[in-house]
């Protein structure tokens, strides 16, 4: 964790999945994670960027919702088994919600400042937004 | 994800077990080792200790992640649990021809994996 | 960022009005200095003169889709800094961009 040292973590990659929706509430987050896992299962090199409400996916202590509705924490836990290891979180989105990198402990993530968020969208050859 | 519609049933110890159109359990709670033997026999397979290693890993994976693994994570989980030889695709293909994640999930009583072909 | 190709330009698509959705903030945060923004669907509300403060600093890189403006009766109410394009223009922007990223 920590602010990325430029050039080290922002190596080129094949697919960047941008996650902008919070757990529960909609299926966007789960669908984005599943898309990432499908690509990874086929050997693509996948990166994840948590931004907007998506940063809330990284908070600990999540559970199934009412009526047993699935959250997203199980999918986050499985990412490692799919070899999805490049996970980034947008520092501005964290700050806007009063969160710091200490709060996003569910996954090992790299916190990115604005310029590096931009660079990230440029160094992956494909971007999918969820 | 778990299917919901019973297309046919299988009798086991006087109980009727519901299966969906692709042979996956409608109620995952119905699973037992005896049922696994039965499901395998239906497909003309006999479960060896090596099959049971895979079933164990599949069920453990589902318990940890609420998810049936695709091939790649299955090989990784097998490697972690039983070593690199057991994690090789060829080994898994030999045990569960066609598609180890799909056939394995069916016999291990998991939902059909959503993220593999 | 030595190993990153920084000369590529992305096209961002926004279909939410900045008056009712703050997604535009995430778009701006992800836009590089050469990136372009095309407003479509409800996003074209962001082309109104009164919305200028939301999408400031994008002169020459801010576009709105003509068809969506016309269907809403907003054609004559756009900020002068917004470049209006039709569907063909939309396609041309997409072709010129390295990648297209949707925000919704």
Rounded to whole angstroms, what are the CA distances from A66 to A29, B29, B64, B93, C27?
17, 21, 20, 40, 32
State pLDDT tens for residues B23-63: 999 999 999 999 999 999 999 999 999 999 999 999 999 99
> What pLDDT score was predicted for residue C21?
96
Question: Are A117 and C30 within 8 A, CB to CB?
Answer: yes
The reply to whether B82 belongs to the active site is: no
State pLDDT tens for residues A69-79: 888 999 999 99
Cα distance between residue B26 and residue B14, in whole Å = 18
- Residue A9 pLDDT grade (very low, low, confident, very high; cuts 50, 70, 90): low
| Residue from A67, A13, A74 nearest A44 by CA | A13
Q: A37, A39, A77: best mutation site toward chain B, by most B Cβ within 10 Å?
A: A37
Q: A30, A44, A78, A84: best mutation site toward chain B, by most B Cβ within 10 Å?
A: A78
A93/chain C closest Cα distance in angstroms? 8
Cα distance between residue A33 and residue A17, in whole Å = 8
Q: A44, A75, A82: best mutation site toward chain B, by most B Cβ within 10 Å?
A: A82
B14/chain A closest Cα distance in angstroms? 31
Q: What percent of chain A has pLDDT over 90?
A: 82
Global ipTM: 0.87
C20 has which bridge partners? none
- Residue C1 pLDDT grade (very low, low, confident, very high; cuts 50, 70, 90): very low
For C10-103, CATH gives 3.40.1260.10
Chain A interface includes B67 (CB < 8 A)? yes
Determine the 3-state secondary structure of A90 from DSSP: strand
Report the phi/psi class of residue C60: left, alpha or beta, with left for phi > 0 and alpha for psi in -120 to 50. Answer: left
> What pLDDT score was predicted for residue C82?
97
Q: Do chains A and B touch (3 or more CB pairs under 8 A)?
A: yes
Contacts of A92 (CB under 8 A, 6+ apart): A113, A114, A117, C29
- Residue C2 pLDDT grade (very low, low, confident, very high; cuts 50, 70, 90): very low
> What pLDDT score was predicted for residue A125?
93
Domains (range + CATH), chain B: 8-42 (3.30.1420.10), 49-108 (1.10.10)
Q: Which of B28, B97, B116, B117 is catalytic?
A: B116
> What pLDDT score was predicted for residue B116?
64
Biggest CA-to-CA distance, chain B: 41
pLDDT at C6 over 70: no
Determine the 3-state secondary structure of B25 from DSSP: strand
> What pLDDT score was predicted for residue A70?
86
Rounded to whole angstroms, what are the CA distances from A126 to A14, C11, C24, C103?
6, 12, 21, 15
| Residue from A129, A123, A117, A130 nearest A12 by CA | A123
State pLDDT tens for residues B71-100: 999 999 999 999 999 999 999 999 999 899
State pLDDT tens for residues C15-49: 999 999 999 999 999 999 999 999 999 999 999 99
Contacts of A7 in chain C (CB under 8 A): 1-4
**DSSP alpha helix (H) spans, chain B:** 33-42, 49-65, 71-82, 89-95, 100-108
Higher pLDDT, residue A64 or A124 = A124
Higher pLDDT, residue C7 or B75 = B75
A73/chain B closest Cα distance in angstroms? 8
State pLDDT tens for residues A15-43: 999 999 999 999 999 999 999 999 999 99
Cα distance between residue C39 and residue A64, in whole Å = 36
Q: Do chains C and B touch (3 or more CB pairs under 8 A)?
A: no
DSSP state of B28: G
B103/chain A closest Cα distance in angstroms? 17
| Residue from A75, A81, A85 nearest A130 by CA | A75
- Average pLDDT in chain C: 93
> What pLDDT score was predicted for residue C45?
97
- Residue B106 pLDDT grade (very low, low, confident, very high; cuts 50, 70, 90): very high
CATH code matching the domain that covers A13-60+69-125, chosen among 3.40.1260.10, 3.30.465.10, 2.40.50.140, 3.40.605.10: 3.40.1260.10
State pLDDT tens for residues C79-89: 999 999 999 99
The pTM of the full predicted model, rounded to 2 decimals, is: 0.88
């Amino acid at each position: 964790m920590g602010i990325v040292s430029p050039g080290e973590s922002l190596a080129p990659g094949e697919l960047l999945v941008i996650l902008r929706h919070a757990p529960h509430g909609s299926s966007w987050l789960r669908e984005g994670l599943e898309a990432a896992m499908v690509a990874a299962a086929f050997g693509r090199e996948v990166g994840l960027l948590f931004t907007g409400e998506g940063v809330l996916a990284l908070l600990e202590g999540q559970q199934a919702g009412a009526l047993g509705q699935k959250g997203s924490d199980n999918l986050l836990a499985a990412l490692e088994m799919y070899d999805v290891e490049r996970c980034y979180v947008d520092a501005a989105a964290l700050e806007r919600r009063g969160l710091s990198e200490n709060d996003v402990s569910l996954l090992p993530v790299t916190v990115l400042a604005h310029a590096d968020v931009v660079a990230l969208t440029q160094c992956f050859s494909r971007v999918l937004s969820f | 994800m778990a299917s919901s519609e019973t297309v046919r049933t299988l009798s086991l110890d006087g109980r009727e077990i519901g299966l969906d159109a692709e042979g996956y359990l409608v109620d995952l709670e119905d699973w037992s080792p005896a049922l696994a033997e039965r499901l395998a026999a239906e497909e003309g397979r006999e479960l060896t200790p090596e099959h049971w290693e895979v079933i164990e890993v599949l069920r453990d994976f589902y318990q940890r992640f609420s998810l049936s693994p695709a091939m790649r994570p299955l090989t990784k989980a097998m490697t972690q649990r039983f070593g690199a030889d057991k994690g090789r695709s060829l080994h898994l293909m030999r045990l569960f021809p066609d598609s180890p994640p799909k056939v394995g999930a069916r016999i291990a009583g998991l939902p059909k994996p959503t993220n593999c072909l | 960022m030595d190993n990153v190709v920084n000369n590529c330009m992305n096209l961002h698509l926004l279909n939410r009005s900045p008056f009712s959705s703050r997604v535009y903030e995430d778009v701006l945060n992800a836009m590089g200095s050469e990136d372009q923004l095309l407003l479509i669907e409800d996003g074209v509300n962001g082309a109104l003169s009164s919305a200028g403060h939301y999408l400031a600093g994008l002169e020459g890189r801010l576009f709105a889709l003509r068809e969506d403006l016309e269907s809403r009766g907003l054609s004559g109410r756009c900020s002068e800094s917004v470049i209006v394009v039709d569907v063909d223009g939309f396609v041309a922007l997409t072709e010129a961009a390295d990648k297209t990223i949707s925000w919704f």
